Structure 1
């Protein structure tokens, strides 16, 4: 049974896993203009022409993708590094409010010394900087950490650029579960299989991934240690075992099992054991996701006649319907602050990403694509990653919550599916 067939059967039409060649590299394409973007210039780092990574370009792309910053031509003030005395006049004239300068050099032990400094051009004020000694393989991580520093210094919130995403590809007969940087680059294969792999889900501490594998010729849930590659079987009960979701404390997972007939929600200890059924229902209940406080679970159910999103306490009880607009709402995900619900709604036959502010209950469509799926919030709640089809190609996208700034993480060809945005590293 293909993952698409299985998903259609259990989610009444939800698009299944698709494919992207494993070798494809990503590039960031940012579109849209926000009303309050901060103009910032990121000068090419001194020495980066001889380095394996162009750090300034990575930093600039990260900041643009956040929706909070607008790139300014970085050639206005000539060559600079973190120790340069700054003449703010040309940067003010170029329209920059902020400026990033830095350098990269090779150390005697083969590592790279990366340094940077952030300037407030308007106030002619040094806002600080940092330095890193990193291996070649960690140069991109250093650039993401620089972007995180800048983002937090200028917005007061933590950046997410050094976090990771997981996603699934299919290349010919091979399925791969990938772990990549938040911009889609630097992908490492966590699992390769001739059988479908679907539904990756990060643990709260970012050290483990739960996923569904069809290698037993039916859906079975595994938990995978990202650093070591070791994995353990979590759920292999009679019937299908699917849709794993971690509790915030990492001790429990919610899963969908058909062991008693139909698709029903259960919770199970992270170490395995006997699952506990959450609800008594003849409906199809699936796609659980924990609220950030761990006290409730959002899920998709057809108990009202068509798929809608509901909420129930983790101790069980009567579920509460959450979505009312439209007749087909699936794939819930909750922002880390618990204020926003993102989900996929079918509108006139098109699958579109919607965001609802839970206190108001008003959903808003934030995309113009027609085959969106699998939304997942960034750990700061400011961005959403999702899969879609754009210009005839499958791709990962990120979007701000208002939909104004989008970035395509595009492969050279093929398909890509089921992204899940990992947490901050602890």
Structure 2
């Protein structure tokens, strides 16, 4: 299993066998990097073959000194680390500077065939995308209201037909859970927060099916 250790001086990612044993550090503390970050990664997920974990961290953009989120794949056995290039449909991203301006929060479908993630599509505007797990055939799923999109955490249903996520209701002053079909249709709000409520981290029961 993989987990985040948050401590004074930064946050690190570790993997450890489910039976116990000595944890192995995959990533040095954020605070020790060239581009420190003040928050831990929001999501750490294994690739379908379990050979690597995927996570977001801040990095310096190659087009300037501005810090942007980069999505990283770190192998579980060995020392190789790769920055992933998230697929984007033609004409969706307004400017290169806006690319990956928010954490991707990438997640895999339970059959390992699809990925869901978020990207900045223009300054202050973000959207959810789905693609094949080999990072081909990207499609935009839904526009997001929250310009920061820190707690979107998109999650596939067990059968892969729906995706749950968090978005902000600015007219209410709260965050709610939404569901969208995997083909981009049928966006609907499923939780009803009151002002000041934060409904986050949606998780599907294993018996969940498309209705």
Q: Structure 2 length normalisation: TM-score? A: 0.69
Q: How much has 1:227 moved relative to structure 2? A: 2.4
**Does the 8 Å contact 2:14/2:27 carry over to 1?**
yes
**Does the 8 Å contact 1:264/1:281 carry over to 2?**
yes
Between the aligned partners of 1:176 and 1:281, the Cα distance in structure 2 is: 29
The residue number in structure 1 matching 2:52 is 208
**Does the 8 Å contact 1:240/1:259 carry over to 2?**
no
Between the aligned partners of 2:183 and 2:82, the Cα distance in structure 1 is: 26
1:169 aligned onto 2:19: no
The residue number in structure 2 matching 1:287 is 153
Between the aligned partners of 1:208 and 1:333, the Cα distance in structure 2 is: 22
Q: 130, 133, 138: which is aligned to 1:270? A: 133
**Does the 8 Å contact 1:252/1:269 carry over to 2?**
yes
More helix by share: 1
Which entry has the higher C-alpha Rg, 1 or 2? 1
The residue number in structure 1 matching 2:89 is none
1:291-333 deviation digits (Å, cap 9, x = unpaired): 1111110100124742111111111012122223653211112
Query: Which aligned pairs between 1:323-402 and structure 2 lie closer than 5 A?
Result: 323-324=191-192, 326=194, 327-338=197-208
The residue number in structure 1 matching 2:69 is 219
Between the aligned partners of 1:185 and 1:271, the Cα distance in structure 2 is: 32
Shift of the 185–298 alpha-carbon distance from structure 1 to 2, 3 Å rule, reads farther
Q: How much has 1:239 moved relative to structure 2? A: 2.1
Q: Structure 1 length normalisation: TM-score? A: 0.37
Specify every segment of 5 or more residues in structure 1 that has no aligned partner in the other structure, as ranges. Answer: 1-164, 340-358, 360-426
1:192 aligned onto 2:192: no
1:245 aligned onto 2:111: no
Shift of the 224–335 alpha-carbon distance from structure 1 to 2, 3 Å rule, reads farther
1:149-197 deviation digits (Å, cap 9, x = unpaired): xxxxxxxxxxxxxxxx321124443431011244775321122142345
Q: Give aligned pairs, total.
A: 177
Greater RCO (CA < 8 Å, at least 6 residues apart): 1
RMSD after superposition: 3.0
**Does the 8 Å contact 2:72/2:82 carry over to 1?**
yes
Specify every segment of 5 or more residues in structure 2 that has no aligned partner in the other structure, as ranges. Answer: 61-66, 87-98
Q: How much has 1:233 moved relative to structure 2? A: 2.1
Q: How much has 1:238 moved relative to structure 2? A: 4.6
